[in-house]
Structure 1
């Protein structure tokens, strides 16, 4: 009984075959999330009305409302995926979160395309993001270190970032390149934390919430890597 939580077997107490199967399922679902994100983003960008609406939501308090709505959906999706034992509900929560990510990315993707007239910046940022994601994940798997101690720092850093974003919107100042760099560091820490949870905290049946956490960290990193690329002269 000590190796179970809510009748689930912790991955750390599972067999090598169970761990490998769990990792395969988790990263397959992360890859599937990225693919679904691309499909949603492509469909959104085909509609001028959706693009115009998303761009209009970046102005002033509307952006705060959009961020607030996105944070609510994020919390709901993560809570549902983690606490529900219904796989259909977990998939629905994951898909809903990806949909929300794709929508909030519309203005940034649109500006990145307009910046160069092609997808070069997006491709470059994507390659850098995936390389960093793979490297950080490898650190956790090779060292087997428990990065749960990062949780407090990530929480504090997240609140500071939210405060700066709100202040920037309310007082009309640009957060600049170094904020994006700092957020990349925060996203990197989140990837380490989520990957560590993959090994030390989840059960063998929790591959969907594990994938959602990794996907969220991956997209946070991609957002700010892309912003850094767009800030270059």
Structure 2
């Protein structure tokens, strides 16, 4: 008879092990943001990359870009969850950051060239402030946020349906859609922050960081859309 190796999750670890896990996790989230900024800066300096990705924002090609990103995300998350190879985890995390950086190129190009860097800096500051506040709430609150999982699943399915419908029937998703997506991203941060202690072992800080980074980038995307809509 084969037995599955028992994995001690963070919630069952000692205080010192928990502290080390969270320090590594949030350090890797910060590192992911730094790598994202570096990659984005490099990509925006390459006309071929910018023009190619801008062309994918026209009509149904946007769905191709989204589909490609979803494929990269699936592969990256699978690699990051590898329990044997730490290098494979890091490669998956880096692949995910590259995917996010490419996805952001068209919107950041438009934001910088048509609204200036002030809007970009404001959106980034608000995003970081919200992420820190939501993380603090998740850690300090005694509320069980596990109920958000079902709400987020339904919300993201409806959001994807709205995006596809917008492409098919030619209508634009306005300000309130961005506000709703910010709310979903906030819920994702609350859920991910609280649940990582039950989903991961103390050595799995890389996939934990990837999950938080994903929610942070989703929040940034729609906060930036809201700021851009003002101009």
TM bin, normalised by shorter chain, reads over 0.9
Change (3 A) 1:37 1:136: same
1:65-214 correspondence runs (5 A): 65-116=64-115, 118-214=116-212
Aligned-partner Cα distance in 2 for 1:232–1:166: 24
TM-score (norm 2): 0.95
2:220 corresponding residue in structure 1: 222
Distance 2:125 2:105 in 1: 19
Counterpart Cα distance in 2 of 1:12 and 1:183: 30
Please tell me whether residue 24 in structure 1 is matched to residue 23 in structure 2.
yes
Large movers: runs of 4+ above 6 Å: none
Number of residue pairs matched by the alignment: 228
In 1: Cα distance, 2:168 partner to 2:33 partner: 33
Contact 1:145–1:196 (CA under 8 A) maintained in structure 2: no
- Structure 1 position 144, deviation (Å): 4.5
**CA shift for structure 1 position 205:** 1.0
Cα offset, 1:217, TM superposition: 0.2
CA drift of 1:105 comes to 0.2
CA distance in 2, matches of 1:144, 1:220: 25
Structure 2 spans left out of the alignment, 5+ residues: none
Deviations 1:161-209 (A, max 9, x none): 0000011111111100000000000000000111012233321111001
Instruction: Kindly provide the CA deviation profile for residues 33-53 of structure 1, in whole angstroms up to 9, marking residues without a partner as x.
Output: 000000110000011111000
Deviation at 1:153, TM superposition (A): 1.0
Displacement of 1:114: 1.3
Alpha-carbon shift at residue 66 of structure 1 (Å): 0.7
Give unpaired runs (5+ residues) of structure 1: none
Report if aligned partners of 1:8, 1:204 keep a CA contact under 8 Å in 2.
Answer: no
